Structure 1
C-alpha cells in the first residue's frame, strides 16, 4: 500500500496526542502526493495544516495513562513528574550542546519532511552530584514534556527474563506517551557484555536494551551513569549526543551560589569568596551546605555570616579542619595546602579572628619547617 509509513506515523501520533508529529508526517505525505501527481489530495492536506493551530504536547494534567508496573511485585517501573522550576548551571560548551539537542528535537518536523532519521538520545556521564538528574529535568521542562524517570530497583528483577520484559514495557510506554524518558544509573542495565563477573541473563538484558533503543525512533531518551567505563561499547553508537558532566569551574560555582542565595543577597566580593573556597566541590555538595546553613539562620532569625558559611565549606572539604584554637598552626598548614592562592594571611586572620602579624609568624614557622 502506498504511503503506509506516513499514514501509520500520523495515526500513531494522533493516538499519542503528539500534534507536532502528526503535522510533520501530514506535511511529508502532502509532498509525496504532490510528487505523484495527486495534487487535489495534496492541496487538501496542506489546507488542513494551514488551519490547524499548533498546541503544546504536554500540560501537567494532560497525561493520565499510568506508568507500567513490574509484573510480579507490581512496583511502578518509573516515576512521572512535572519538571517545572528545574534550573541548571553549566559550562558554556555544555550549554551550547544542550541548546543544539533542544533545537534538534524542536525541528523534528523539518527533519521528517526531509526524510532525515530522528534519534534524540543523550548520554550524561561523570561524577556523582554534577547535575545529571537536574539536567534531564531541565530538558523536559524546556520541551514542555513530563519527565519519566526509570526506577532501577523495579526494572531489575530476580526472575529469569523479567528484566528484559520490564525494559521493553517501559520503552514501549515512552514510545506512546510524549515524554522525556530518563534512565538513571544506566550502567545497571547496560554493562559491557565482556564482563566476566556478569551472568548470562544480564548479558541478554543488554541485547534486549539495545534492540529496544533501536526501535524508539523519535522518543526522547536521556541516560545517565557515574561509571561510563562499565557501559557496553555498543551503547555509544545509540546515543547521538554525549556530555561529560564535570565538577563546576569557578564561574559556574558562582552562578550556583548566587541562585541558592537569591533571597539572601550578598555583595560581589562575598560571592567570589564562596565560589573560590568551594573549589573541587560538586553542585550537589554546594547545595547541601548552603541549604543546611539557610535552614539554621531562618529558624533562628539570623542574618548570613560570611565567615561562618566559609568555615562550613572548609570543614566539608577537609574534615581535619575544625577551627580549634588548640590546633591552630596545624590547621592553618592544612588550609594553605588546600588552596594557597585563596588562603592568604589576610583571609586566615579573618577566619580565626587573629592578627595578621600572628598569622605571618605561624606561616613563617611552617615555611621554615
Structure 2
C-alpha cells in the first residue's frame, strides 16, 4: 500500500497538541473552600469571576513544541521521501510511428508524452517537426520525480541534437522503434554586408583578405556585399562584418560592435578573449572577445606569409568566415544508437526516508527540558 494514503492522518499528529492543553486545564491547582464561623457575619458580596488561567505556561509551551516537532519528524517520509509508487514515463521523439511503438511496448503501462513544448499526451496530433530533441529530453528528465522510470522512444535517426552531451538523472530505457526521421529544416543563407577598411594598396595582408572575400562572392554572389574602401570611409550601419587593417579603431566603431557588429583587426600580443584559432603547433592565432552584443576578433599575427603562413592555404577563406560566424555548428542529426543518453552520476537523488539529525537532536533537547521542568514542578508542589 502506498504511504501517500496516510497523508490525511498525518494531520492528526498536530491535533495531538490539544492534549497538553487539556491536561493543564484539568490538573490546575485545586482550591478547597473552607467554611468558618466568622464568615457568616460578613456581608455577602458579588463573587469574583473566574478567569481561564494555565498553570506553568512555559511547561505547556514545551509540551506543545515537543508534539509539533514529533509530528514533523513523522512526516519526513511524506515530505521528502519517495512515498508514492514510481511512475513509468514514455517519452516519444518526433518521427516515431505510434502504432508500431504501442505494439512493441504492449506489455508496458505508462504515461506517453511527446517530446515537444509542454509535453502533450500521445493520442492527439503529432507535434510539427522539427523539435529540439536534446533540450526537450533534458527538460523532461529534470521535471519528473527522481524515483520514476523513463523510457525514450525514437526513430533510427535522431534530429534536434545540439552540442551538449545527453546526461540524465534517470538511467532510461533507450528504445529504437520504427518511424520516419523528419527532414531537417533547410535554412536560407543569411545575406551579409562585409566592409574592408585599409590604409591603401600597400597595406600588409590586404591582398589576402581581398582574395578571401572574392572567394566568398564566387561561390554565392547573391549572399555577399563587399564594401572595400579606405580607413576614412564611413562604415554603414547595415554592415554585418568589418575587417579593419589600421590603427586602433575609433570609438564609434567600438559602439557599433556593442550593438551587434563583428570586427576583425590585427593586434599582436593581445591576451583578451578566448582562443578561436590555433596553428598546427598549437599556438593561438586568433582571439574572440564579446563586447556588448557583438564580437571583437583579434588576429595575433599580421596576415602575411612570413608571419601567418595559413593565408597561403586554400582553406583560409573558410577559416576567415568561421572566425566571424563563431566556428562550425554541431551536427543536429545522428544515429540513435550513437547518441544514447548516459546517467549523470552526480544527480542529487533524495533518500527514500530521510531522518534529519538536527531535528532528532532538537526533539531530545526539548524533551529533556520538559522533563526537568515537570520534575521541578512536582518537587515544589
TM-score (norm 1): 0.24
TM-score (norm 2): 0.23
Structure with greater helix percent: 1
